[in-house]
Structures are given as structure tokens and as C-alpha cells.
Structure 1
């Protein structure tokens, strides 16, 4: 049976989203010793030029991600997480589409170097290592990525 997928734009405070974000925090804590919460607040994804998405498969939440303003033409991806293979790509593509709709020309993000799965995932999907930005300028633990967004892609 083929899964029925749906992208839901919602608040990260929505119970479906909050469950996924909590799972992500626990997974990050187990992997890195830091749950990542200090780098994101729910309000970050509730501003006019931001978004939070949940991927539903057969009505069940399986993946999430956030988009927030970083600079005038650059958005930042935060809180990407998927319970199932393929879920992360569906969320990433939805966030990239939304970023284009909001007028962003670039997406930036940071992840921990130790998070091999995330590093490989972003590289596989066109993200390149970028200059550290913001609080990541002083971090030897993180690696920053960016991707130029092509119009109408």
C-alpha cells in the first residue's frame, strides 16, 4: 500500500509538531549532548516570513522542519527531523518552495559535524559548506551550509 503524504503548515506548538520536535531534541541530546533548543524558539516559525511544516503519512506526523528569516534574502532551516526514510526530503522540498514564495534567494543552516546523517543529507540535496554565521562563527562543533534557490524550481 502506498502512503498518502500531506504537508501541513502549522505552528510548532501544534501537538503533532511538538511531539516531533521533542523527539528531535532527544535524538540530538543522545547524539551530541545538546538538544538544540537554545538555537530555536517556537516564535521563530510564527513570524510572517517564516514557516513550520509537518509531513503527514496516512494522517500520522512523521517529519518536520522550520524556516525562519536570517537576512533579507536568506532564510535559515531549523528543527529538521524525520521518523521515516524519505520524510526529510519531502519537508526540505516544502521548505525550499515556501522560501521561494517568500522571496528568499538562499537558504542557510547549521548542523553538528558529528551528525553524519544530516551532513550527508544536505550535501546530497545541493547544499554546500558555507562560511559560519551568527553564533556558529565561534563553534568548532558545527558546520554551516547554504544553497542558492533557483526561481521556479
Structure 2
């Protein structure tokens, strides 16, 4: 695993969600949900949601080791006056690589690639038991919005959006 004290830029590669590196990290984030919430994230995810023209899935590498994921998929959620939105999904950085700005790098990459695909705003859902994620989104200019989709009405859920 990369040395936590080094500052290295994340190499981000677009991959299918079914790629072994992507699957390894998706399973790791599911284990994190089990630890924090007592169960896996059961919101529906279709691998085709992350293929053109619907969305994109990315894996971030440090020293050729997969350490982060992030994705976006087109959404019908109206937010901040935007007509064309996409939902951020599967943002995750492995514990050994956290607190190095990698999630912020991945989020910026998602914003750039979504904007290049014509997306006007990103929406996302995160949980109350993920204060570091809430802080990342707030400090990156995301604003609270009403709940949407699978977690609409959940007391543990917090939703955000940002025009890009």
C-alpha cells in the first residue's frame, strides 16, 4: 500500500464496473456500509448505468494499486434549476489511502467528465454515519437538497447537489 505521508496524484482510469479492480473496491465499500449501518447498500445499480451514454465509472490508482472509485449516472432528479443531472455513485477511498485528498481528486474528475458529457448538475446521496463524506461534499460546493430516489424519506440519508 502507498505510504500515507507521500503526496501523489491519483491516476484515474475509466473502467467498466464489472472490471476486477472496480469489483474489489465496490465490495470494500459495501463492507464499510455493513460496518457503519449494519447492512449493505441495497439501492439498485445496473452496470449498464455506467456505460455511454448513461454514465461512467472510474478507478483511481496509486503506484498501480487500486485505491479509489467514483462514478456518475444520468438522473431524472431535478436540482438547482438544472435540466440535465447525473447522480454520483460509489465514491470510495480505501482506508490506507484516506486523508490525502484522493476523494477530492476523484470528485473533481467526476465533475469534469460529467460536464464534458453535457451534465449541468450532479446530485448525490450519502449517509449521516459518513461525516467525512458530508464534509467533502459541503466543502466542495454541494448544497443540501430534498431526498430523492431509493433513500427518499430515510432519516439516515442526506442528499446534495452542485451545478457544474
Shift of 1:141: 1.6
Matches within 5 A, 1:35-114: 35-71=40-76, 73-83=84-94, 84=97, 85=99, 86-114=101-129
Q: CA RMSD in A?
A: 1.6
- Cα distance in 1 for partners of 2:47, 2:36 equals 22
Secondary structure of the residue that 2:126 maps to in structure 1? Answer: strand
Contact 1:128 1:146 in 2 (8 A): yes
- Structure 2's unaligned 5+ residue stretches are 1-5, 77-82
1:5 to partner: Cα distance = 3.2
User: Structure 1 residues 3 and 109, CA, compared in 2 at 3 Å: closer, same or farther?
Assistant: same
Once residues 41 and 119 of structure 1 are traced to their aligned partners in structure 2, the CA distance between those partners, rounded to angstroms, is 25
Query: Structure 1: where are the runs of 5+ without partners?
Result: none
Aligned residues: 149
Q: Deviations over 1:58-77 (max 9, x none)?
A: 11111001100102500000
Structure 2 residue 22 is matched with structure 1 residue 17: yes
CA contact (8 A) 1:49 1:102 kept: no
- If the length of structure 2 is used for normalisation, what is the TM-score? 0.84
Structure 1 residues 2 and 119, CA, compared in 2 at 3 Å: closer, same or farther?
Answer: closer
Distance 1:28 1:95 in 2: 22
SS in 2 for 1:138: coil
**TM superposition outliers: structure 1 runs of 4+ over 3 Å:** 1-5
Aligned-partner Cα distance in 2 for 1:120–1:5: 20
Say if 1:55 and 1:90, in contact at 8 Å, map to a contact too.
no
Between 103-112 and 44-53, report the one with greater CA deviation: 44-53
SS in 1 for 2:147: coil
Q: CA deviation at 1:43?
A: 2.5
Is this contact kept in 1: 2:85–2:119, CA < 8 A?
yes
TM-score (norm 1): 0.89
